[in-house]
């Protein structure tokens, strides 16, 4: 008997290129023991919804504007994810902060990617922050989500040099390419059962 695949849900607000990278990796067999059971967007016009449709992945629009506050929205989100028996929640350009309601429901089972080498340049416009600061290197970080802003245990990081010829746009584009590779690898490790959180550290087993 084969192992039952882990059930993944991807949360998006926009284009969904990281979602696409993960879908492609599963279809190519680079991520095994995994199935994306649903894509959830808080915006009805998110292009990621079209991506899901092309791959016959169930897509759901859960508009935050229909809820009085973040806690109420997240309670509805948790209920939806539990209906799908989700093992891992992947944030892929989901432009909403999660409340403790959501985080407590999926401890060490919500992943996010941030376009900088945390703990440097947290929050919004990380690429602009690194560029303006004059940093020589930046990159991207995949981490588990906790109740802080970009403070959860770090899973993987990839380094991107900031070139003298860079603009914020060219830097953002290069970071984005690394995001696709790094996020796929982090999801692969999770689905292979190779990630263990010990305090602030994520241990990757061989």
- 72, 62 Cβ separation under 8 angstroms: no
User: How many residues in the chain?
Assistant: 206
97 annotated ligand binder? yes
The span from the CA of 147 to the CA of 99, in Å, is: 7
Question: Is 16 annotated as contributing to ligand binding?
Answer: yes
Which candidate in 114, 143, 176, 180 is catalytic?
Answer: 114
Is 114 an annotated catalytic residue? yes
Does the annotation flag 188 for ligand binding?
A: no
Residue 124 CA to residue 186 CA, distance in Å, equals: 22
**Is 96 flagged in the annotation as binding?**
yes
Any binding-site annotation on 17? yes
SS3 state of residue 143: strand
Residue 131 host element (H or E): helix 126-133
| HEC string for 168-195 | HHHHHHHHHHHHHHHHHHHHHHHHCCCE
Tokens of 66: 């229909």
Q: Name the nearest CA neighbour of 144 among 187, 85, 80.
A: 187
| Residue 70 labeled ligand binder | yes
User: What is the rounded CA–CA span in Å between residue 130 and residue 99?
Assistant: 27
Annotated binding residue 95 = yes
Residue pair 38/84 in contact by the 8 Å Cβ criterion? yes
- Known binding residues for (6R)-10-formyltetrahydrofolate are 70, 95-98, 112
Residues marked active site are found at: 114
- Known binding positions: 16-18, 70, 95-98, 112
């Amino acid at each position: 008997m084969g192992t039952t695949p882990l059930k993944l849900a991807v949360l998006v607000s926009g284009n969904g290129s990281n979602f696409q990278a993960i879908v492609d990796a599963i279809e190519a067999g680079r991520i095994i023991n995994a199935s994306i059971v649903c894509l959830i967007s808080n915006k009805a016009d998110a292009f990621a919804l079209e991506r899901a449709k092309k791959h016959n992945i169930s897509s759901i629009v859960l508009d935050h504007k229909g809820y009085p506050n973040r806690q109420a929205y997240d309670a509805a989100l948790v209920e939806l994810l539990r209906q799908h028996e989700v093992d891992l929640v992947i944030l892929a350009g989901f432009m909403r902060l999660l409340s403790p309601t959501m985080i407590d429901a999926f401890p060490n089972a919500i992943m996010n990617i941030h376009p900088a080498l945390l703990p440097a340049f947290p929050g919004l416009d990380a690429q602009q922050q690194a560029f303006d600061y004059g940093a020589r290197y930046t990159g991207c970080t995949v981490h588990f989500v906790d109740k802080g802003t970009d403070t959860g245990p770090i899973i993987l990081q990839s380094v991107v040099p900031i070139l003298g010829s860079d603009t914020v746009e060219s830097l953002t584009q290069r970071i984005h390419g690394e995001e696709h590779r790094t996020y796929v690898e982090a999801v692969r490790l999770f689905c292979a059962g190779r990630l263990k959180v010990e305090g602030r550290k994520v241990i990757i087993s061989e």
